Structure 1
Amino acid sequence: MIAKAADFSSSRLGVSFEFFPPKTEKMEETLWACIERLAPLDPTFVSVTYGAGGSTRERTHTTVARLIGETNLKPAAHLTCVDATREQVDEVARGYWDVGVRHVVALRGDPAAGVGVRYQPSEGGYASTPDLIRGLKEIGDFEITVSAYPEKHPESPDIAADIQLLKRKVEAGATRAITQFFFDNDGFDRYVDRVRAAGIEIPIVPGLVPVLNFEQTARFAAKTGATVPRWLADRFAGLEDDPQTRQLVAAAIAAEQAFDLLDRGYRDFHFYTMNRADLVYAICHLMGVRPRKDAVVEAAA
């Protein structure tokens, strides 16, 4: 039986949203239209990604600073170890702290060269996410969110090794983990059971991606080790030139997954928005998340 949104109206659900910094003026408009649409849902936080090797460093910082200056949202800035010395990473972290950021998504990051290139710490750089977390804690009392991989990180030998790394992240100071997106809720449940059996008690927040573009999602999944099941491909088959139906199908699939997770007892969800609001807003609405009347996004100066 599919859960109904009304079933959850008595207990507030926690949602958070991920955005990426814009590269062009048009993308800037799209991003802020997305933020303005989703802000009234009163997310727990919103995160802003950080490209490999700090390739979006300035744009990430600008987006985060604008979120603080023009909205009531609580931004979480991504920060990685890739292609940077400790001093360079610390400089970015201090810059975040100075503009009012108190929440960081701490990631090792993937090599700029992409899939198939094994990560190598930069000379004088942070060697791992636990090292980065300890460095951040020396700069300020940041809230630290980290990544988790229900199907294991592509470089890990197995899930057990991934879980041990997650444990070291927690010991270093992490207080929440967000998963890579997945489509197998049974597999996610088994992963959480193994995490708890390892003595890890921080929240493990499922990361969900509405499939706006199936081919794009499949390519990204291949890079991150996420499995795209055959049934998902079948649901989008024949819709390559039918964007309206694709959007309806995407909403149905994401809502179905979210409702099943609600039935399993999960109450916090992280959405990879791809800087597109309508589908995420619709899914949140179906889940029972409603706008907060006093939520504010100020007009740009």
Structure 2
Amino acid sequence: MKVTEHLDRASNPLISYEIIPPKRGGSAEQMLGVVEELMPYEPPFIDVTSHSAEVSYKPMPDGTWKRCVKRKRPGTLGLCAAIEARYGIDTVPHILCKGFTREETEDALIELNYLGIDNVLAIRGDDKGVEKDLSPDRSRNEYAVDLVSQITDMNQGAYLEDLMDAQPTNFCIGVGGYPEKHFQAPNMAWDIMRLKQKIEAGADYVVTQMFFDNAYYFEFVEQCRSVGIDVPIIPGIKIITRKRHLQSLPAHFHTDIPEALAAEIAAADSDEEVKHLGIEWALQQSEELLSANVPCLHFYIMSSATTVKEVVEPLREMA
């Protein structure tokens, strides 16, 4: 079932989750165990992140360093297929521009279509320092809007080459939104117009980057509606569980952590206290968002369901 169909049919607030594939050489059973823990909470869909190749350096015996390029977390498609087959939960694999050619993307989408996976999240992806040399028969999507257009074309039966009797795909397309502005955008108005272009290219819904102040989300939605973006906008929530998140989350996701929350976490005496503060903040955020009738809450949980259950349990009692 498509994400938009889940949203349309919901009688109670929906809560979805985002997980990450295991590292190369790891076991899928670890992440399937996370899904198992989420089953009592009836997740309508689960996002699975994707990762392109990245550069690392390996020390050599002669004192030099060897440049290595590899995907540290392959397996997005396989993990999605395993989740759907074992648990019957719809999945949303992330499809990236960065690190993949349009030809590779088309192949991946064909595989997803054969597997009966109805949803994708189309994103540009992080710059990992790896840029493939393109042969004359290869091309790339520079921006998420280009990727959305490619998926929309396939939904209309148009592939990268003219094919006789080509069958259309039927993907529901999600895209990312940034309540605090994408860090590369010159201003918020510019960023929202880029988002509108993705909707006009065929995107069906938006899921936001994590934020810790609901005012950013409410203002973002208002600005989106004012320029004619009328698709569902799902808020993304992250639970802070470690002190180091005060530095790592702003550094990697360019999000602001409110002074009150940052001060409490910085003053905490133990990891357990930090986790308690993070849970309480996420719960308050979630309650306010649900009272504003958001279409869904989307939790970035990555590789553990332990903490999010302490937020979701009381939210289910509210429903």
Matched, 1:102 2:118: yes
Q: Which residue number in structure 1 is paired with residue 210 of structure 2?
A: 181
Instruction: Using the TM superposition, give the Cα deviation of residue 11 of structure 1 relative to its aligned residue in structure 2, in angstroms.
Output: 5.1
**For 2:27 and 2:271, how far apart are their aligned partners in 1?**
20
The alignment partner of 2:18 has SS state of strand
By relative contact order (CA 8 Å, sep 6+), the higher-ranking structure is 1
Number of residues paired by the alignment? 276
- Deviations along 1:263-286, one digit per CA (max 9) or x if unpaired, are 333241100012211221221111
Q: CA contact under 8 A between 1:218 and 1:228: conserved in structure 2?
A: no
Whether the aligned pair in 2 keeps the contact of 1:53 and 1:83 (CA below 8 Å) is yes
Secondary structure of the equivalent of 2:230? coil
Q: What's the CA shift for 1:99?
A: 1.6
Deviation string for 1:243-276 (max 9, x for gaps)?
3222222211110111121233324110001221
Q: Distance in 1 between matches of 2:238 and 2:97?
A: 25
1:84 match: secondary structure: coil
Who wins on radius of gyration, i.e. which is larger? 2
Alignment of 1:282-297 (within 5 A): 282-288=310-316
Deviations 1:198-257 (A, max 9, x none): 0000011110001122313631322222112222221212436x2322222221111011
Please state if 1:143 is matched with 2:161: no
Task: Give the C-alpha shift of residue 58 in structure 1.
Answer: 3.8
Taking the aligned partners of 1:189 and 1:70, their CA distance within structure 2 comes to 37
What SS class does the counterpart of residue 101 from structure 1 fall into? coil
1:207 partner SS: strand
CA apart distance, 1:15: 1.1
Q: Judging changes above 3 Å, is the alpha-carbon distance between structure 1 residues 220 and 151 closer, same or farther for their aligned structure 2 residues?
A: same
Structure 1 residues 140-149 or 281-290, which shifts more?
Answer: 281-290
Between the aligned partners of 1:111 and 1:214, the Cα distance in structure 2 is 26
Alignment match, 1:3: none
**Superposed displacement of residue 25, structure 1:** 6.5
Change (3 A) 1:280 1:224: same
Alpha-carbon contact 2:84-2:90 (below 8 Å) kept: yes
TM-score of the superposition, structure 1-length normalised? 0.84
- Residue 91 of structure 1 corresponds to which residue in structure 2? 107
TM-score by length of 2: 0.79
Q: Does 2:136 correspond to 1:125? A: no
1:41·1:289 contact (CA, 8 Å) conserved in 2?
no
Residues 1:76 and 2:92 aligned together: yes
User: Counterpart in 1 of 2:52?
Assistant: 52
> 1:257, 1:106 → 2: CA distance?
26
2:7 aligns with: none
How far does residue 24 in structure 1 lie from its aligned partner after superposition? 5.9
One of 209, 230, 239 as aligned partner of 2:238: 209
- 1:39 to 2:55 alignment: no
**Structure 1 or 2: more strand by fraction:** 2
Checking the alignment, whether the CA contact within 8 Å between 1:210 and 1:250 is kept in structure 2 is yes
Cα deviation, residue 108, structure 1: 1.1
What one-letter code is carried by the residue in structure 2 that aligns with 1:144? I
Runs of 4 or more off by more than 3 Å in structure 1? Answer: 24-30, 120-123
* 8 Å Cα contact 2:15-2:298 kept in structure 1: yes
* Contact map agreement 1:48 1:60 (CA 8 A) in 2: yes
Describe the superposition over 1:158-207 as per-residue Cα deviations: whole angstroms up to 9, x where unpaired: 11111111111111111110100011111211111000000000011110
2:307 pairs, out of 263, 272, 279, with: 279
**Which SS does the other structure have where 2:75 is aligned?**
helix
The letter of the residue matching 2:77 is H
RMSD (Å) for aligned C-alpha atoms: 2.5
Q: After the TM superposition, which residues 196-235 of structure 1 pair with which residues of structure 2 at under 5 Å, given as runs? A: 196-216=225-245, 218-235=247-264
Partner of 2:20: 20
Shift of 1:289: 6.0
Letter in 1 for 2:119: H
Q: In structure 2, what is the Cα distance between the partners aligned to 1:214 and 1:27?
A: 28
Q: Tell me how far apart the structure 2 counterparts of residues 40 and 181 of structure 1 sit (CA, whole Å).
A: 24
Asked if structure 2 preserves the Cα contact closer than 8 Å seen for 1:68 and 1:100, the reply is: no
Give the aligned residue type for 1:101. I
Alpha-carbon distance change, 189 to 137 in structure 1, aligned in 2, over 3 angstroms: same
**Aligned residue identity for 1:135:** Q
- Helix, strand or coil: the match of 1:180? strand
CA contact (8 A) 2:243 2:266 kept: no
Once the two structures are overlaid, the 10-residue window that deviates more, 256-265 or 197-206, is 256-265
